Each structure stands twice: as structure tokens, then as C-alpha cells.
Structure 1
Amino acid sequence: KFSLSILQLMLNLYCIILTLEWFWKNYQFVLVLYFTIEEINRDSHLLPNISLGFNVCNAFASDQFTLWSTLLWLSENIEALPNYNCQTNSKSIAVISGTKSAFSAEIGTLLELYRIPQVNVTYGPFHPMLSDRDQFPSLYQMAPKDSFLAHAMISLLLHFGWTWVALFVSDDMKGEQFLWDLKAEMIKNGICMAFTEKLSAPKTMYGSSDITFMSRIRVSSANVHILYGETDSLITMDVAAEFFLTTGKVWIMTRKWDIVVYEMNHMLHSFHGSFSFSHHKGEIPGFRHFLKRVNPSQYPGDFYFSKLWLHAFQCSPVGSLCGKIGVCPPNSSLEFMPGNIDIMTISDSSYFIYNAVYAIAHVLHQMLLEKIEMGSSGHTDKPRMLPWEVNKETNYMAHYDIENTVNFPAGLGLMVKVGEIFSKTPHDQVLIINDKIIEWPIGFTENSQSVCSQSCLPGFRKIPQEGRPICCFTCGFCPERHISNQTDADHCFQCSIYEYPNSERTHCIPKVVIFLAFEDSLGMTLACIALCFSVITVVVLVFFMKHKDTPIVKANNRNLSYILLISLFFTCILQQITFGLVFTVAVSTVLAKTITVILSFKIMKPGRTMRWLLVSGAVNSVIPICTLIQLIFCGIWLATSPPFIDTDAHSEHGHIIILCNKGSLTAFYCVLGYLGSLALASFTVAFLARNLPDTFNEAKFLTFSMLVFCSVWVTFLPVYHSTKGKVMVAVEVFSILTSSAGLLCCIFVPKCYIIIMRPDKNCLKNFKNRKCSRGKKTF
């Protein structure tokens, strides 16, 4: 308890010192009032023949003194008596109040209570409560609204990539409104609050509030803090920053208060390198020159001016009655004030006071001109300003200067303008900032971050952490076929079917278009095989035509052999529908040949009908009939869903395969099934004729050819469905070539062997002897 009491005593003493320093800095408000009144009185075009005067009442930064000063003014400085008014004949036409909204509200309420026709113009920060025309019909605020301030601060955060911030606001209605506006902007821009602390004003004039919340700053991962509030609340933060040093943190605040820095800590001060937002203000022409030459002797009635001179220079002004302290040199000037009392830099409030006085002067000038135009004298009665007359002069423009606090030894603090932001509409803002001249806090650099989680690199996406703000997340690698090409992507988007992601999942790469081309090794091999088989087929056809009159060619039904060979030739080079038709011709030809063999050897005593079938070649009608049925299937296929050129972008990674789509799979399998049925029928018939006489009997060869054919296509179905892309096409082509080669080799190679190698067997005598011997053995 003893240590806490000592700390509280130290804080109270520091608050007293801080309040006094803040008081002397704000004396610039009085000086700018002197300057503006004198400038207007010297202007022959503004209020000619009329001199403006003023009364200055000190509020001592206290609500009690504000009420006391107002009552004292109402009683004409006799005594502060409630319910007493001697201002009925006063020449005052307006009241300029500040620096806190509470002061303006108290003065405005008191003036309305007494029904005094003054216009109250406040130069303090804008407060929505003071805009209530029912409660304060004659009160006007010179400061623009702070509705754009939250958006301006968010723009600065986004510029540096800070998404994890702590917020300190005053515990009042204005702080609540700013907190509401800032949260709305944060949600829209993906920025989160680490924590929020509400600052209460000290209960006494020089008291200090609880500052134990400063321990949260040290343990927080947020490196950026936003500070907003009235002067009383912010003094608490300044006290806390003095006794609880926090380095490596950036503060963003409004310049409605000043920071007192002492020689011992200067750059280690918690607010060194902070950013301040202040309403954009122009220069006051001649004011700096006025500050350089003004001295207390020019305003002998101002006791506080002499006190400021004594406090700053430790000497008495010229003409002072104080003999114990030496007289200040003649060249003493406000320009040489100590660094912790910066009067030469124009503050927001001083600029608003300057504008407020000029606004009142111009309104008064316009009123007098209107009275003169109406024929009355402009000096007979005290002019009364109406609320609407002042309201015409108000102009709100969202324009902020961004200043950087730089502290130096000997308590010198400098506010350096590093940027500005302005906007005419909420969606049309411009941020200008010079990063090179920014002075960063100790332990903080331009590249430092204030984030809850480290950024997710391209190729990753953010995965929110349950129960935590949206700024806290983990990074997950984009799934297959998805990419993200920006940092902190919320989602990965899918590549098109014609693209595939790179290994880092950062961009999509166009797939390479491929197909079973002749240039490929596989395509070239299959093409060569097909060409070889076609050439062999043509050679066999020519060879058979050359030896068409030999017994072995005649016995094998040369016309059917020609048809079979031609079908095999076209089968080698055509696909699908044409393949189905020509292979049907080939298989039906084999079936016709097999039937012919059976009719020739099985029927020993043929009747006229059988003889007619053999002699007339009616068996050959099997070919067109079977082909016609297949043609019907193909016609239905073409009419419903014909084959077409298609692309396959899924079978092979990074490739788009151009292939021939079957169209209707049902029609395709009907054609294939019908072809298989013919092959099975041919195999069955050939198998039944396997034991017939050997000479020139091709029943066994037909059986083997159909066995090869059926084996190939039975194997084809599972292999075809288990492959993709070019391999699937190659399997289909290989099956066609293999089955065609089976027919060619099993049926025609033995015949060619006899014709070429064993011409002695290719005679009618040998054929008859073989037939008779086999006939005796069998029958």
C-alpha cells in the first residue's frame, strides 16, 4: 500500500506539471485572438468605422471554473452570482468557446437559460451533441466533423499493412461514437482490434486515473495503438506513458492535445515517432511575425501574459513592478521559448479561432450592409446575429494533415508533416504520405508489422481460427487444381479445365494440347503396323487374284476372299462406324465361308435346294444381310449422338488430349455387341466344321481366326475402360489391328504358303484323293 501511495503521489505531481505546461501552450489561443481582432480593426473594407473588442475569460481547464467564469461575465465581472444578469446592455454579440466540448455545452446551456441573444461559436473539436439545434440553437462549431477520421486512420493502417491494433478511447459519448465508426471501417477492411481500453477523465483537476491498463500494452502482440478522446482523458494516457515506458509501439492519435517531453528521456518517450491527425489548416498571414514581436508590455492588462514571460525566461517584462527579479532583455521573444512550450507552431484550435472571429466579422459586416440598404443607420442599435446568418458561413471539408512526432533533447518536440488525406465523398479519398521522412519509434522500423498472424504467401489461403478475430488465422496450402496469386488470400480459386497449377500453386499454366499423332512414337508405331498390314493385305489380294484359277483359291471361294481382304484393308485405316461396318463385312464373310464349307462336306446327298444354294452362291447373301443390320445400328448412332472431336483435360496432368468421342456409348456398345455376336456365331459354326477333310478345308483356320478375334475383343473391354487419353485410343487401334491380323494370318497365310512353298498340293488330283480318303474314313 505504501508503494502504491508513493506512485499515486508521483502521478498527481506529474499531472500538475503536465497541466501547467499544457496551459502555457494553449496561451496561443489568446494571442491569436489579439492578432485577429487587431487585423480586422485595421481593415478599412471590413466593418469600416467599427472597432471590435473582446473579453477573455479563463476556464482553467475545469468545469467549475467554466461556470464560474461565465457567471462572472454575466454579472459584468462584479461577482459570480447565479440567477443574476447584468448583460442586457452589453455590447457583446458572440461568444467563442472551447477547448473542450463540455465547456462549450456548459456555456451554451447557460446562455440559453438566460435567453441572451449571443451566438456561441466553439473552436474545440467537433462533438455531435453540440449539433442538436433544439438544445443549442445558437451554437456553431468551427471544426469539421470527425466522421471521416476513422476512415482516414484506417487508410494509414492499410498503407503500412497494419491489421492488428489496440484502441484507447475516452469514456464518453464522443469516444463511443468514434469506437463505433472505427469498428465499422475495420470490419470493411479486414482489420482487427487486439483490445479496447476506455480512458476516464481524472476525478479532480490535478488528479490521475487508474493506469494499470498499461501492463496490457507490454504483453499485447499489437504494435500499433490508436488513441482518441478529450483532453482530460488523454492526460491520463500521457501520465501513463511517462511512468510505463513502451518502446517499439506506434501511436496514432488526433492532435487535440500536446505531449510534454523532458530532457532525460526524449527519444525513449512512448510517443516518439507517433502519428497525429489534425484538420488541414492554412497559414495565418502575419501571425508568426506577430508572435516574434509581441510582448507583455503591449497588453498590460493581461496578467497571464506577464506570468508566461516570467515562467519562460525567469525574468520580469519591461515595466513590471516586480523588483526582486531582473528585467528581461529587450530582444526577448516567444520565438525563444523553451522547447516544451511551443507557441510558434499554429495549432488546430488557433486556426479555428482565427476563422471564427473572421466568420463573425463577415456576418456582422453583411448585416450592417443590409441595414444600410434598407435605409436605417448601421450604428443605431446593437446588431443581433441570427442563427441562420452564421450557418451560411459554415463549411465542412474532410481534409487531414498527418504529422509525425519527433522528440529531441532538452524537451524539444517537433511535429513534422509527413502526409495528408482528403476526401469529398466517402468513396473518393486520396492518401499522400512521404515514407522517407518518417521518424519511427525506438525498436520499430518501416518494415515492422502489427499483425495477429503472419501473412500467408501466394499459394496458400487463410484458415480462420475458431473463436478468434478474422485477423488471426493459419495458412493452408491450396488444394489440387487451385491457386492463389496474392498475399493473404481468403480463398483459392480453381484453374480452368484448360489449365493446371504450378507446383507452388501461385499461377495457372496452360495445358499442352496433345493427341495420338503420327509424330509420336506410339502413333508412328501403330501407323506403321497399320500400313504394313494394309500392304500385306493388298499383296495377298493381288496374289490371290493372280492365282485365281488354282484349286486352292477356287476351293476357298475366291469372291468371298476378295471381299474379306478388301474389308481388312479398310479396317486397318478406319475407326468406329466405318470400322464397325467393314468388320461386319469381314466377320459375315467368314461366317459365309464357314457355312459354305459345311454345306460342301456335310451334305452327302444334297437335294435340289441345297445344290441350288451351293451353285447359285445364295450363301453369300449372309454378307449384305448382316451388314444391313449393322448399318441400321450405325444409322441410329449417327442420328442420335454421332461421334465428334472432343478434348480430355483430366486424364493426363498438364495435357489436353484431342480424341474422337464416341457420342452415344449405348450405340457404340450395340455396334460392338452385334459384331461380337457375329464373331461368336462364326466361331461356333467353324468349330462344328473342324473335323471335315483337311485338304483345302479352312474350317480349322476359320476357327482359329474367330478364336483370336473373340479373345482380342474380350480382352479389349476391361483394358479399354482402365486406360485414359492416348493410351485408350492406342488400345482401340491395337485391338482393331490385332483382330484384323488374326483374320489375315489364320485364314490367308496357310493358303499363301501352299501356293508359294508347296505348289504340288495345289492341284485338283491331290484335292480329290485327299477328299476321297478322308471321306472313306469319316463316312
Structure 2
Amino acid sequence: MVPYKLKLLNCIMLMCMGACKSEVQSKHSACHLEMMKSFEEYEYIQEGDIMIGGVLTVNSYVKFLKHPEDNSIRILCMEAVPEYYRQFIDFRYFIEQTNNNTALFPNLTLGYHIYDSCGDPRKAVRSVLQILSGTREPVPNYSCVGKRNIAGFIGDLTSETTVPIAQILTLYGYSQISYGATDPLLRDRAAFPYFFRTVQSDHHHCYLLTELLKHFGWTWVGVIRLDDDAGDREFQLLTKYFSNNGICIEFSTKINIKANKYSSDPHIAKHKEQLQKSTTSVIVLCGTVSIAIAEKFSLLKDVLREKTLILATNWAANHMMYYAIEVFNGSLGFMQRLLYSLNGPKVKAFLASIHPSKYPKDKLLEDLWMQHHLCSSSNEYKNKIYDYLYPYSLHNCSGEQHIQDIWNIDNALHSPRVHLAVNVLSHAIHKMHMSLSKLSPKQNKRLYSYRYQLHHYLKVLQYEVEGVPYTFDEAGEFKSQYWMYNYMIEAEENVKVQYFEFNPLAPSEQKLIPADIKWKTGQCRIPRAQCSDTCPTGFRKASKPGTQSCCYGCAQCSEGEISNVTERENCTRCPDMEWPNEKRNQCVARTEEFLSYNDDVISICLLSLSVVLYLCTVLITTCFITYRDSPIVRANNRSLSFLLLVSIKLSFLSVFLFLGRPVDITCMLRIITFGITFSIAVSSLLAKTIMVCVAFKATKPGSSWRKWLGVKLSNSVVLFCSSIQIIICMTWLAISPPFQELDIHTSPGTIIIQCNEGSAIGFYSVIGYMGLLAAVSFVLAFLARSLPDSFNEAKYITFSMLLFCSVWITMIPAYLSTKGKNTVCVEIFAILTSSAGLLFCIFLPKCYTILLRPEINMKSNLLGNKYK
């Protein structure tokens, strides 16, 4: 297939030859010349005291041809876009309104010199040089109209045409306001100090797109970009912003901008295959839009039927969705919020006055009448070309046609971007003119060249709309809010547009006002654009080797961590005093674990057993008090027996200190109490054993042991042995006392409230000393067990010490191997069993004798070898 540009050129040549086939060859060149004159450059001049240059895009297609006479290059511009022509009307309307308003520029008028760039950088550069030189053929650094005072320039629509314009105007010092260029390169104030624009750069647009995707949770998207510099530039920026915000690109494909609706694209099949294989439902478009590209999307409508398209600002501002409404149905995009509307009565009246009969030299207007009203031109060559290019038949019009009837030229949401640019520029010119007019005539003459002054006034200009000030930022960008739009096809292919504000800085739930969006699927459910299923709360993302970061699995949070929102990269550890719930999406207070008085069956049993044993001890003590004068009570040191009973009762009562929530004071008392009471008890037994041995020695005639008989020796033994334990305990308390400890590491989700010994040396010193006393008592009692005495209790002491030592020896490993309240249970069990062993082994046989064998409890049996 012949490319469209070559086809157009061939078409012109063929039509020229066809029109001149009856003429001689010399007339062919004349025919060609007439053909080229049909497409003279679109130039508009209105002289004024202060001139504004304008390079606007109206035609969307350009072709360069050689002139048949002088071989110079001539430019053919084709396909005027109605909405672009409306921007040109806005320019002229503002100049007319300003000149009618004498209050703004008294004794001065504004003029303009406008060219159509046709969307081509070469044509844009040529247009700027033509305006500066004032000649048909541009002459750089030379002006044929030296008295013309050009203050600044408006233009252009695209970055491709605006950047070279800005480079030229920077050299000459002219201020420039673009109404559509978004290239971030133009933010460089060192390279472009005089450049301003009424839009914001691609950085801001990429930020808006990223925030939109994040708002809907779309992290897996495709990108369709146009095969041009703008498409590549925007794609690089999008990739950067997406990467920084966790958004992955599943695929990217380039649409050939050279191919158009009149020619086939060999890559269409490849594009369709790629789109069919994609799993995402959301596709982002980037690049410089044109009518040909917008209409080309209709070729992809079968594979884009279920895809939601996200569009950049230039797509929405140029209303390109109307050219392929089936594809763009349900699409989302951004457009700069309209600061004001150009739909008032005065504007409509001015628009209605635009007619070829009033402006017969307006070639753009004539082209629009031919394209949209099918009105034939007075130029027969132009009619032949249109007849050949378009499937329409031209006819003579009656003159009743109106410009408002041209589709999309009077759109209700038409953006006054050009009008705003001229308005802002004129306000800066006004402020500058008023400032310079106050100077002396000599200074005024020297400074009257506006081009060197205007950018200073643009920097500080505050443009107010309904009392709200708008300014240019430090990069020359006009700051404003944005609308998000939602296109919907209604009955009979009517397009309805829903617009609402999108504030990326607002909280997530407030960004969409309202959030009533119509999707392609016809459902209220938001389209899915994720590589992996959303990780619910309680789970985190787990990366998969060899895939993009958006493709992941979901792993449950580790022990002690939670995830209370979806799609978390990492789980959050709970505070020390809290623990995750079962779903691991919330931290809850840890369960406190200690041996409570009433909430635990074990504690109730131990408490009951302690009370029972205490009552048994009380009964035995009562019995001994009742029969305190009986021989069996008096035979083995009655005072030591009562002291032993008291210490045993205290050991049973010390169990109460081990129950309940531990605090620092109970932690100190529990260890000290049982250590001292048991030391007294064992010391008493040791004293009893010593007294048995002394009594046996004293029975021998002339024995010197008689002087040791009495209570002094026994009391001294008890006092000395107990004092050592008391000293150990006091030292322990003074250096490193026991304290309450919260153990959060042993049992997950549980706070074990326990007592920390403080000093392990102190704890084991107490236990070790008590064991030493028990061991000495056991050895002495074992040696004295067979001494001849009817009431010799050494054998009972032997059994009690054997039981006592066995309990505490086995308690040590059990104590070290248990945690929490189980440790306390081991301690209580050791106290109860060892105390009970002392009680029953020492006093139960005597109670048996006192109560059941009173005949034995007689003084006559004291010297007997054994009981009768």
C-alpha cells in the first residue's frame, strides 16, 4: 500500500495532470502553480500598536512540496480540525473585545500576526521567523516592519512544535505562552527563561495518572503509546512513576503514527494478538494525539471492547474520543479544569458572525465549509482535490449554513486555553505598559521594547477568576485543578460525558466526587487490573522468582505480626504487651498467666490442701498443748516441738504468698518466708537430734555430757542455724531482691507474670543452706536411730529428713524445666509435701501414742527399751 503522504502528493499531481491534460506541457507548470496557490499558507494579520504573535495548530496534516518556478519549498496543510479552529476564534475574539474596552489600553490597540503551524515543527519554525521578519519568506535577524512592536507570542499546541519555537524566541528575548505543550524539558528556566504555559508538564500528568491507578487499586496495566517522541517521553516518565508506586506494566505496544485511516497498518494484527493475550483490564494511552490516531483505534475495537482506557490530558482536551466512541466508551482521563466558560451570549454572537461571506479571505474557514458543509470553493483545483480525497460530493451552498452546525466546534466543555493564554499575556502587557508609562520620555523610549520586560510581569502576575488568584509557578506553569472525565455511550450512540474533580492530595475516600462511574462492563464493579489476587488482612506479599513485583503470592504473617490492611509488603510486629488475634489482622491484649486464687483448678486444689494441712497442724498443736505435761511430750524437748509446729504452720500458710498476681513485695516475701521457716524447722530437728545424742552420752556414769543437758544447747543450735539463713536472706534482699517479671517470650500470646529471683546466687544459697541443714540432720538422726530409748524420735527424724531431702532434690530439676505458673505449682508442691512429711513423720506417731495408747505414755516407760 502507498503511504498516505505519498498518496496525497500523487493525488495532487494526478489531479493537476487530469485538469490540464488538454493543455500543452508548458501549461502544465502553470496548472501545478495554480494548484499550489490553492494551498497558500494560512496567515492572519491585524495591525495594532502592540502586536501579539501567534503560532496555532489548526490543520492536522502538512506536506512540503517544491515550487515549480523557483524550486522553493511550499507547504500544504490539510484537514482543519473544528475544535482547533475554535481556539483560533477565541484568539480573535479576545483581541476584538480588548480593543473595544478602552479602559484596559487607553489610546492603544492590540494587534496580532497569526500562522497555522499545521502541527509540524518545521512549519512552526518557519511561522515564527515569518512573524519576526514580516516577510513572506522568512529572513532571520531581519525585520521589514521595524516599527511593529511585538510584545510576546502565543503557541503552540504540542511540545513537538513548541520546543523549537521556544528555542528561537529565547534567543530574541520574547515571552511565550503555550496552551498545550507538556514536555518537562520546558521547565528548565536556564534554557527557557521566557517560556510560560497554561498547562502543567507531563510530570504532573503522570502523577495524576499514578494517583488514579492507586485509588482504584490498579497495579497491573498495559500501555499503548504512539510511535513518536512524545510517546517515548511519556512512556519513560510513566515507567518511572509507576515503578516508584508499585504499579507494573504488563505490556507496551507502539501504534504507528504514520499509518492512518486511509492506509492499512501491517502491525495491527500484532497489536490485536498482544491485547488478546493480556490479562489486565486497564490500558494507559500516551503520546501526541491526532484525529488519524483516534480513528485508528476503531480498528482495535474488537480487542478493546472489555478494556478500560486511561487517557492523558491532551486526549480529553482535544475531545478525540468522539472519533472512536465504541472504543473510548467507559474510558477515564484528565482535563484541566475550566476556569471559565466561553459559552456566554457575547461569545455565541461572535461565533455566529463567523461566516465565509464576512471573511472571504479566511482559507481555514473555507476549508471547514468544504469539509463539513460540503460547500464548493471558487477554486476549481481545490474542489477537484476534495472530490478525490473525500467520499463526498461538493455543491454550491446557499449561504444559510452556520458555523455552529459544524460538529464539535461549539462543545459545551470547550477549554478556553488559547483565550486564557491571550488574556494572561494582555494583562501582563497592561501592567507593563502602565509601569513604563510612568517613566520619563527618555527612559520610556529606551525601555519601550516590550519583549525584554514582559517576562518579569508574567512571573508575578496574579490572574483572578471569581476572586480566586491563579499564578505561574517557578517553572512557568499555570497552576490549576483538574477534572476527571468518564465517557459513556447512550442510546443512538450519543455520547454523555460525566466530569468531576479529582484531587490527588485528598484522602483516598475523598478523591472522587462523586464516585458514580460507568464502566464498559455495564456493572458497578471496578474492573480488575492486578497480576495477583489481593492479599487480605493477616497476609503479606511474597515475591515469586522471575516475575515482576506486582506478581506475588500471599504468605500469612509470622508469629507476633499483623497486617491490618490489604496488599501489605511487610507485616507489622505487635507491641510487647499485645499479640495478634487468630486472623492476624489486629493486635489484642496478651493473656495474663499467673496462679490465680479462683480461676484455676490447680490453685484451688493446692489452696484447699494447704488449709487442710494447716488445720491438721492446729489439731496436733492442740493435742500437744493439752498433753504438754505427759512424758512423751516432755521427753523430746517440748519447746522444740512447739517451735517445730509453729514453723510448719507458717510454711503451710506461706502457700498464700505464691497464689494470686505476683508483685514485688510478695515476690520478696514468698522466697524469704519459706526459706526462714524451713530453716527454723530443720534447725529444730537438728537440735532434737543433737539432744538425743547428748542424752545418750549423759546416761553413762561420770559423763561430762551432763552439763549440756537442758534448753540452752537446743535453743543455741536453733538460733545459730536460723541466724545464718536470715543473714543470707537479708544479704540477698539488699543486693538483688526478687521482683515481678513479665515474660512475653516463653509462651506466644501470653504474658507470664512471675517472680524473678533477682540473684540466682541468693536463691540457690538459701536452698543450698537449707539442704545442708537437712543433710546434717539426716546423718545425725540416722546414726542415732538405734539408741536405746523408749521415746527416741531419731528414727522418725531420719524418715522425715529422707523425705524432705528427696522432695527438694527432685524439686530442683522440675523447677528449672517448667515455666510460668507450673513453676509456682512445683514450689508449692515441694513446700506442702516436705512440710507434711515433717508433720506426719515426727508428730503422728506421738499423737497415736497420746490418743490411742495412753498406757505407754507413762514415766515408767522412759527407761524401757521398747514399747510393751
TM category, shorter: 0.7 to 0.9
The one of 202, 206, 213 equivalent to 1:157 is: 213
Question: Which residue of 1 is the match for residue 788 of structure 2?
Answer: 693
Matched, 1:522 2:595: no
The alpha carbon displacement at 1:582 in A equals: 1.6
**Aligned residue pair count:** 752
Matched, 1:487 2:566: yes
Matched, 1:418 2:478: no
Distance 1:324 1:470, change over 3 A: closer
Matched, 1:304 2:371: no
Distance 1:760 1:433, change over 3 A: closer
Counterpart-to-counterpart distance in 1, 2:698 and 2:829: 40
Aligned to 2:453, the other structure's residue is in SS state: helix
- Contact 1:371 1:377 (C-alpha < 8 Å) held by counterparts: no
Counterpart-to-counterpart distance in 2, 1:213 and 1:647: 65
Matched, 1:27 2:94: no
Matched, 1:506 2:547: no
Question: Which residue of 2 is the match for residue 100 of structure 1?
Answer: 158
- Contact 2:351 2:404 (C-alpha < 8 Å) held by counterparts: yes
The alpha carbon displacement at 1:356 in A equals: 3.1
Distance 1:76 1:662, change over 3 A: closer
Within a 5 Å distance, the mapping from 1:219-368 to structure 2 comes to 219-231=277-289, 236=293, 239-240=296-297, 242-243=299-300, 245-257=303-315, 258=318, 266-267=325-326, 269-270=327-328, 272-278=330-336, 280-284=338-342, 285=344, 286-315=346-375, 325-328=395-398, 330=400, 332-338=401-407, 341-345=408-412, 347-348=414-415, 351-366=416-431
Distance 1:288 1:722, change over 3 A: farther
Structure 2, gaps ≥5 residues long: 12-58, 62-77, 384-392, 460-471, 473-477, 655-669
Matched, 1:392 2:472: no
Within a 5 Å distance, the mapping from 1:636-647 to structure 2 comes to 636-647=731-742
Distance 1:607 1:152, change over 3 A: farther
The alpha carbon displacement at 1:92 in A equals: 6.4
**Amino acid of the residue matched to residue 404 of structure 2?**
E
Within a 5 Å distance, the mapping from 1:169-184 to structure 2 comes to 169=225, 178-179=234-235, 181-184=237-240
Question: Which residue of 2 is the match for residue 439 of structure 1?
Answer: 518
Distance 1:545 1:130, change over 3 A: closer
Counterpart-to-counterpart distance in 2, 1:437 and 1:289: 36
The alpha carbon displacement at 1:118 in A equals: 6.4
Counterpart-to-counterpart distance in 1, 2:846 and 2:531: 87
Counterpart-to-counterpart distance in 2, 1:509 and 1:107: 65
CA RMSD in angstroms comes to 4.2
Q: Which moved more, 1:170-179 or 1:96-105?
A: 170-179
**Amino acid of the residue matched to residue 402 of structure 1?**
M
Question: Which residue of 2 is the match for residue 36 of structure 1?
Answer: 94
Distance 1:690 1:146, change over 3 A: same
Aligned to 1:57, the other structure's residue is in SS state: strand
The one of 780, 790, 804 equivalent to 1:709 is: 804
The alpha carbon displacement at 1:301 in A equals: 1.7
Query: What's the CA shift string for 1:532-577, capped at 9, x where partnerless?
Result: 2222223222322322222212222212212211111111112321
Q: Which moved more, 1:571-580 or 1:404-413?
A: 404-413
Counterpart-to-counterpart distance in 2, 1:379 and 1:601: 137
- Contact 1:91 1:382 (C-alpha < 8 Å) held by counterparts: no
Question: Which residue of 1 is the match for residue 640 of structure 2?
Answer: 560
Within a 5 Å distance, the mapping from 1:516-555 to structure 2 comes to 516-520=595-599, 521-555=601-635
Distance 1:757 1:440, change over 3 A: same
Q: Which moved more, 1:409-418 or 1:306-315?
A: 409-418
- Contact 1:649 1:657 (C-alpha < 8 Å) held by counterparts: yes
The one of 612, 617, 627 equivalent to 2:722 is: 627
The alpha carbon displacement at 1:740 in A equals: 1.0
Query: What's the CA shift string for 1:404-451, capped at 9, x where partnerless?
Result: 23345777555432224387xxx9999753344433234775422322
- Contact 1:164 1:222 (C-alpha < 8 Å) held by counterparts: yes
Aligned to 2:695, the other structure's residue is in SS state: helix
Q: Which moved more, 1:22-31 or 1:429-438?
A: 429-438
Normalised to the residue count of structure 2, the TM-score between the two structures is 0.76
Question: Which residue of 2 is the match for residue 777 of structure 1?
Answer: none
Q: Which moved more, 1:636-645 or 1:203-212?
A: 203-212
The alpha carbon displacement at 1:736 in A equals: 0.9
**Amino acid of the residue matched to residue 501 of structure 2?**
G
Distance 1:724 1:527, change over 3 A: same
- Contact 1:32 1:354 (C-alpha < 8 Å) held by counterparts: yes
The alpha carbon displacement at 1:270 in A equals: 4.7
Distance 1:294 1:439, change over 3 A: farther
What is the percent sequence identity of the aligned residues?
32
Question: Which residue of 2 is the match for residue 770 of structure 1?
Answer: 865
Distance 1:708 1:283, change over 3 A: same
**Amino acid of the residue matched to residue 221 of structure 2?**
V
Counterpart-to-counterpart distance in 1, 2:525 and 2:452: 49
- Contact 1:552 1:696 (C-alpha < 8 Å) held by counterparts: yes
The alpha carbon displacement at 1:675 in A equals: 1.1
Distance 1:408 1:603, change over 3 A: same
Aligned to 1:645, the other structure's residue is in SS state: strand
**Amino acid of the residue matched to residue 762 of structure 1?**
N
Aligned to 1:386, the other structure's residue is in SS state: helix
- Contact 2:120 2:160 (C-alpha < 8 Å) held by counterparts: no
Normalised to the residue count of structure 1, the TM-score between the two structures is 0.84
**Amino acid of the residue matched to residue 23 of structure 1?**
V
Distance 1:308 1:105, change over 3 A: same
Counterpart-to-counterpart distance in 1, 2:435 and 2:729: 101
Question: Which residue of 2 is the match for residue 455 of structure 1?
Answer: 534
Counterpart-to-counterpart distance in 1, 2:154 and 2:618: 114
The one of 663, 669, 675 equivalent to 1:580 is: 675
**Amino acid of the residue matched to residue 251 of structure 1?**
L
Matched, 1:59 2:59: no
Aligned to 2:530, the other structure's residue is in SS state: coil
Counterpart-to-counterpart distance in 2, 1:370 and 1:557: 122
**Amino acid of the residue matched to residue 60 of structure 1?**
C
- Contact 2:221 2:284 (C-alpha < 8 Å) held by counterparts: yes
Counterpart-to-counterpart distance in 1, 2:631 and 2:79: 132
- Contact 1:421 1:430 (C-alpha < 8 Å) held by counterparts: no
Matched, 1:719 2:823: no
